[in-house]
Structure formats: C-alpha cells, structure tokens
Amino acid sequence: MQKSVNILGSTGSIGTSTLKIIRSAREIFSVNLLSAGDNLDKLKAQVVEFHPRFAAIHNPEKASELARFLKENTPGTAFLPFDEALKLDCDIAVSAIVGTAGLLPTVHAIRHAKRVALANKESLVAGGDLIRRECAASGAEIIPVDSEHNAIHQCLRGGKAKEVESLILTASGGPFFGLAHEQLAAVSVKEALKHPTWSMGNKVTIDSATLMNKGLEVIEAHFLFRIPYSKIRVKIHPQSVVHSMVEFRDGSILAQIGITDMQLPIQYALYYPGRPEKQSFRFPIEGSFSLDFHDPDRTTFRCLDLAYRAGKTGATQRIVLNSANEVAVRAFLNRKIPFSGIPALIEHMLNIIDIPHPDTVEEVMELDKQIKKQAETEVERGRF
C-alpha cells in the first residue's frame, strides 16, 4: 500500500526535494497534503503535478485565491484552512517549515502522523521537552532530515545506546572558515550566502556561516538521541563528505559518507527502516578525495558556545537563543547590522532575559514573540 505524506512547507528547499523523491516513487508514496507559507504560485504548480488530496496556505490573504484555483483547476484537491490542515492524519509528515513558526506544525504532526521526518531544528531547540512529551503520548517516531542527525541516526544502527561514547557533528565551516574576528565585521550579505558545499535557504546558510547552525544542531542532537551536551562534539570538515560520526566506548568510530544533496537524508527518512533499490545518489568512491577535520574556532565564531550555554541552562535560554538569532539573521540580511552583530545581539539577549520556564506550546510561542519584539527594538536602536 502507498504511504500517505503530508508536506508542511512544500515550497521551500526541503519540501521541493521531498517532492523530487516522491516524483520517482509514486507507487510507494501518495501526497496527502501540500501546505505553503506564502508562495502561492509555486504551490499551485505543485498541486497540478502531484494532485494531493488537500492543499493549504498560511498567508490568509492568499487563502481565497487558492480555494478558487483548486475548485476551477484541480477539483480532486480540497482546500483546507491552514490550522485544519495541520490536523490531517497521515503515515509520514515532513516538517519543513523554517524557524519557530514550525514548532506548532511539528507538534500537530507528531499527534497525527505515524512518522515525522523532521527538518525543522528550531522545534527541538525551542520546545525539545514538549516534543519529547508529545512523542511519548502519541507513539510517533521522529526521523531527522538534517544531514548531520540523519547520519548519526544511521550510524547508531551499528551499536547499542549504552555503547555510545560521543556524537561527532561535522560542519563545513561555512564561507569564512579560517578568517579572524576582525575580518568578519566587514563581510557582505552576498559573501555570507556563498556556502562552499551546500545549497540551502538564506536563513540556514547564514546560520552555517556563523556556526549557529551547528550550535542549534548540538541542542537538537541532545533531544533526539538523549545524549548529554558533554558528549556532543563538533569538528570542522571542509569537504562535507562525512556527514557526522558516532564514537563508541571501545574506540571505534562509525561515519556516514554521502554526496551533498538533501534528497539523500530525505529519502532515508521516507523509506526507513528499508532503503530503495535505486542508486540515484551514489558517492564517487572510485575518485580521489581527502578527509580533513579541525577544531572549530569558538572564539571567532561565538555562536557555537552561545548554543552550548543555552542548551545546558534550560528551556528559556534555548528559546532566547533561537528567537534572537532569527531576528539577528533577518537584520543582517536586511543590512541593519554587520555580520559580527549577530552573536553580539544574541549574547545581549541571553544576558538580559530571565523568564520562568514555559510549559506549553502557547507559552513557548508567546515567549518567542516577546523576545523577538525586544530584539527588534535593540536592532532599531542601532546598538549592534
């Protein structure tokens, strides 16, 4: 039988890559829901090609246009308000909405899907405790789509949890690997968006350049694999060939190697625990390549240490870290602060926010809103 798939964030890079996988495996997967944030034109094209049972868009100003389009062009696809679409049952939900906005959709996905292919790391950063409780209540399994956590998930199949000594997350180092702190102040948005090995959305690309992406992944790994922060390590690996490693207590290290294409971890999440027979993403092992590993420069790229600090401190600091980072990245992309202002703003917000631990999704979202508003005020004051 076909497995039904809900794609939350179908017009983004992860959603688009997911549909590429499904395009060549329609006998295995059926699209139950396509949902987008704002890109109505791309959503329309996806609906015409994949004929989902339902479609939804988050932007309320475009909802009526989508409903009219579906009625006139694809009567087999029903329109749903975005909030209702989140509650559709399915076999697999791909959670690919960027930022804290993806937390509530991820929670609903856990409640209504047998498996969640998770590409939204902010859900775990801001609401890791909530996500754990929801999974325990529903029995849903999470398969990470981030290439690093997907690699660890694969490597952990080679041993028992009690045998793990450490997790080793690899990072490309971004476009500024090797630069000194004073050099970072003058880098441009265009330079920061030139990732050396991966093709990603703007927010993730900037996070990679600051190493915040790796910091968020450290927190994500802690919640996904129940490993203490002291046993989660980061190594700069410029070739991006080894996507991450697991060190076992006997000294053995298992590494997952693959090409730099997000379709590979998405495919793994969709087919798990099996694997497809096709070899669409073969790694060119017959060619020559080198593997270099370096310790990250945590003095120059301070976001990594800020993430470790927030992760160890607790839920409020994790939310502050994530929310302030979203504001800082947006401010940099809009040329309101320099590249070096990103960690400066985040650290400032971590130092001044002291709010009780949130217990519900609603409390997390309200705290996120408050922090972002305050961080935006700090940006407008020109302090960073």
Domains and CATH numbers, the chain: 3-144 (3.40.50.720), 159-259+270-298 (no CATH), 314-384 (1.10.1740.10)
pLDDT in tens, 50-68: 999 999 999 999 999 999 9
Structure tokens given for 338: 């320099």
Check pLDDT > 80 for residue 45.
yes
Q: Per-residue pLDDT averaged across 75-96, rounded?
A: 97
pLDDT in tens, 331-368: 999 999 999 999 999 999 999 998 888 889 999 999 99
Check pLDDT > 90 for residue 282.
no
Query: Which range among 143-147, 198-202, 205-209 shows the weakest confidence by mean pLDDT?
Result: 198-202
**What predicted TM-score, i.e. pTM, was given to this entire model?**
0.92
Check pLDDT > 80 for residue 287.
no
Check pLDDT > 90 for residue 1.
no
Check pLDDT > 90 for residue 244.
yes
Question: Any long-range contacts for 351-354 (C-beta under 8 Å, 24+ apart)?
Answer: 353/316, 353/317, 353/320, 354/316
Could you tell me the CA-to-CA distances from 112 to 29, 238, 339 in Å, in that order? 17, 39, 40
DSSP 327: H
Residue 99: pLDDT band (50, 70, 90) is: confident
Check pLDDT > 90 for residue 69.
yes
Q: Per-residue pLDDT averaged across 124-143, rounded?
A: 96
Check pLDDT > 90 for residue 384.
no
What's the pLDDT at 249? 97
Q: What is the 3-state secondary structure (H, E, C) of 352-366?
A: HCCCCCCCCHHHHHH
Cα–Cα dist 58/47, whole Å? 16
* Strand ranges, E, within 37-83: 54-57, 78-79
